[in-house]
């Protein structure tokens, strides 16, 4: 089988919902992946920020192996030891509260939206304020929370009760708060929106307003959570705690798992029967996520993420001085965005040709999210390729 045969299978049998790159990845180890023809790539955007520990981390693989010999799935009507232990672990790493498990980021956000509405139902409040340029997933309510017209067109009618304020503009949020507002939902670092980092004052002020008005502060950490920014959760940079937090992407470093974490003040809002997910937190994925927490701790990956994040910044700043089409370098830890004043796709394609996988979002922002296990040597290698790609592009514009 060759890549072109896989392309044909897709053409014949898979719904074309993705803009697809004609590369078939079949093997991964750490920061490296290989395609069907055996070409090697350095992966600085592993699995759309899912494989946070890199591909096939041996501890995650052996946890999955071990668990798969015992039991893969049980219904959530029975007690699940791995799920209970994972919930304990998440709470101990974040804030006193309770956890609901699901399978994806959108599902975690959807859970947060239902939770907020239920919380507001007694006082007749249901409106949720979200931010421009946000991304919260593709289910109908999460998509409405995302609020980008291009994603919503043709899918109307959309759910009611969402308003959009400007990110990092507290007055814009204040103006939207009305008698029906129940929550503010945002990403501490906007990922798909182009790696925009929330200002400390903005988050602190949001926290204060939500407390005063008995509204919920919901932080979507689906992309920024699980060590990505150098702290376990991005909000921990701010001395601000959310009421609700959503997790997914690298929570299982490769297996599909999402979570909604709710603080103790509101933990009694949902009672048995009000919300559910058949696969949510099953023994297999919960066991993988437990291994992820262990690896982050035992291999001191938060420290490595901070150090390698700084190291990567130095490289990117050097490139910014060299290439006039680089506008700005942003981000925290190993969640970096490089804003260009030209389209980023040719650079991403050029990088891939030379064996480096990165991403572009919002047309002009290169997104670089290497695994938390990345080394200096790998960063040097990757930045060599990026520089080369940028030089090539310079010669063609």
Ligand X SMILES: *Cc1c(COP(=O)(O)O)cnc(C)c1O
Give the residues lining the site for ligand X (CB under 6 A): 104-106, 109, 135-137, 187, 191-192, 220, 222-223, 248-249
Residues 6+ away with beta carbon under 8 Å from 239 = 200, 204
- Smallest separation (angstroms) from ligand X to the CB of 215: 20
Contact criterion met (CB below 8 Å) for 41 and 352: yes
Angle between helix 283-298 and 58-70 (nearest 10): 150
In the complex, which residue's CB is closest to ligand X? 105
CB nearer to ligand X: pick between 199 and 307: 199
Contacting residues for 331 by C-beta, under 8 A, at least 6 apart: 189, 195, 197, 229, 309, 313, 337
Tokens 């109908």 — which residue? 140
Strands 258-263 and 244-247, bridge-based pairing: antiparallel
CA distance 177 to 169: 13
| Of 13 and 18, CB closest to ligand X | 18
Least distance to ligand X, CB of residue 169, Å: 19
Nearer to ligand X, 231 or 249 (CB): 249
Task: Quote the least distance from Cβ 130 to ligand X, whole Å.
Answer: 11
Residue 311 DSSP SS3: helix
Smaller CB distance to ligand X: residue 109 or 296? 109
Q: How far is the CB of 174 from ligand X (least distance, A)?
A: 24
Tell me the closest approach of the beta carbon of residue 209 to ligand X, in angstroms: 22
Residues in CB range of 135: below 8 A, 6 or more apart: 146, 148, 187, 190, 191, 192, 193
Please, is 313 exposed, middle or buried when counting C-beta atoms within 10 Å of its C-beta (0-12, 13-18, 19+)? middle
Whole-number minimum distance, CB 359 to ligand X, in Å? 12
Select 82 or 104, whichever has its Cβ closest to ligand X: 104
Decide whether 248 or 289 has the Cβ nearer to ligand X. Answer: 248
């Amino acid at each position: 089988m060759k890549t072109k045969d896989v392309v044909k299978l897709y053409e014949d049998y898979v719904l074309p919902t993705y803009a697809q790159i004609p590369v078939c990845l079949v093997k991964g180890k750490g920061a490296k992946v290989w395609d069907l023809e055996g070409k090697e790539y350095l992966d600085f955007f592993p699995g759309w920020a899912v494989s946070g520990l890199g591909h096939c981390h041996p501890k995650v693989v052996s946890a999955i192996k071990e668990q798969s010999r015992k039991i893969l799935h049980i219904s959530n009507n029975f007690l699940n030891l791995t799920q209970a232990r994972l919930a304990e672990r998440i709470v101990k790493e974040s804030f006193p509260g309770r956890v609901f498990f699901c399978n994806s980021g959108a599902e975690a956000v959807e859970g947060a939206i239902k939770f907020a509405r239920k919380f507001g139902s007694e006082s007749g409040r249901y409106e949720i304020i979200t931010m421009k340029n946000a991304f919260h997933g593709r289910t109908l309510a999460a998509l409405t929370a995302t609020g980008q017209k291009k994603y919503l067109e043709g899918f109307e009618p959309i759910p009611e009760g969402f308003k959009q304020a400007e990110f990092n503009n507290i007055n814009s949020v204040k103006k939207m708060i009305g008698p029906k507002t129940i929550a503010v939902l945002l990403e501490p670092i906007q990922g798909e929106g182009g790696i925009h980092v929330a200002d400390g004052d903005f988050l602190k002020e949001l926290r204060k307003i939500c407390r005063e008005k008995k509204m919920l502060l919901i932080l979507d950490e689906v992309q920024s959570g699980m060590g990505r920014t150098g702290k376990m959760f991005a909000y921990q940079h701010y001395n601000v705690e959310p009421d609700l937090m959503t997790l997914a992407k690298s929570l299982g470093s490769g297996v599909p798992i999402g979570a909604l974490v709710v603080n103790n003040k509101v933990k009694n809002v949902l009672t048995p029967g009000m919300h559910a997910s058949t696969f949510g937190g099953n023994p297999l994925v919960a066991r993988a996520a437990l291994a992820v927490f262990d690896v982050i701790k035992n291999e001191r990956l938060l420290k490595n993420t901070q150090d390698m994040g700084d190291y990567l910044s130095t490289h990117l700043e050097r490139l910014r001085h060299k290439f006039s089409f680089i506008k700005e370098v942003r981000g925290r830890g190993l969640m970096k965005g490089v804003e260009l004043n030209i389209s980023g796709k040719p650079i991403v394609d050029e990088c891939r040709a030379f064996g480096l996988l990165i991403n572009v979002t919002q047309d002009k922002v290169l997104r670089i999210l290497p695994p938390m296990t990345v080394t200096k040597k790998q960063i040097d290698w990757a930045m060599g390729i990026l520089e080369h790609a940028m030089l090539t592009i310079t010669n063609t514009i």
